[in-house]
Amino acid sequence: MDREFSGKVALVTGSSRNLGAVIARALAEQGAQVAVHYAKHADDAQRVARQIQASGGGAEVFRADVGDSGEVRRLAAEVLARFGRVDILVNNVGPYADIPFLDLPEDVWDAVLNSNVKASYLLTQALAPGMKQRGWGRIVNLSAVSAFVRVHAIYGLAKAAVIHLTQSLALELAPEIRVNAIAPGQIQESDEIEHIAPGYIAQMTEATPLRRLVTRQEVADAACLLCSDRLPSLTGQTLVLDGGWSLPVGRKTPVLNVSI
């Protein structure tokens, strides 16, 4: 996919740090100009933009709280004003909370759903018309394997909604725009989780059939693949990258290993 996205503009939300930053750099390596978005970490966003620019790519930094509808619309307008177009949208922002529903504050409900789901809908609403008019567009939404379990409360609900939204948008925006999602499992580079819960990463690795956790670079490579022209019939799908963690396991259904 050498420089496959030359001439394209990509907006990656939450791209100042962590997974979003890796996705932004991966798209830039393939030739895309990148709108690097942040909410709080301006210095980190500028660092990502400088890294892209130092490698010969184009990048600009934009700030917005995507939990706020007005700021989401402003973000879309500012990126369009600066670049004139957006061809690739990666909805990466997705704050986590797994507080039990009976204890969940309403403002946390709003923050998680707004940032994970509502922002994706609003950015798509603002940017998809231009993609359709130009006859080419890619939208990648970040879900998570939490969508498939029922112990992550509002986060799981939000990530399940991301999958539903992905499928609905794929139908609505075809044939010009392909919309897909990625559902990573626990990501290997998660120092903040290890700090809060020492040993958690090792436990998740042991519970994963492949005995390895997905990396940020793997997710970024998957995002580039979904944005490429290599899989022209793929739309409305969710690519699960979890080493088999979310698969039904044998202990739930006994295996007879006999012929009857």
**Smallest Cα–Cα separation from 135: which of 177, 96, 101?**
177
The strand pair at 177-184 and 137-142 is best described as parallel
Q: How many CA atoms lie within 13 A of 23 on its CB side?
A: 32
Q: Where are the alpha helices (DSSP H) in 119-252?
A: 119-134, 153-173, 191-196, 200-206, 216-227
Q: Active-site residue among 38, 96, 155, 200?
A: 155
The answer to whether 59 touches 255, Cβ cutoff 8 Å, is no
DSSP code for 127? H
DSSP code for 114? I
38 is catalytic: no
- Catalytic machinery residues: 155
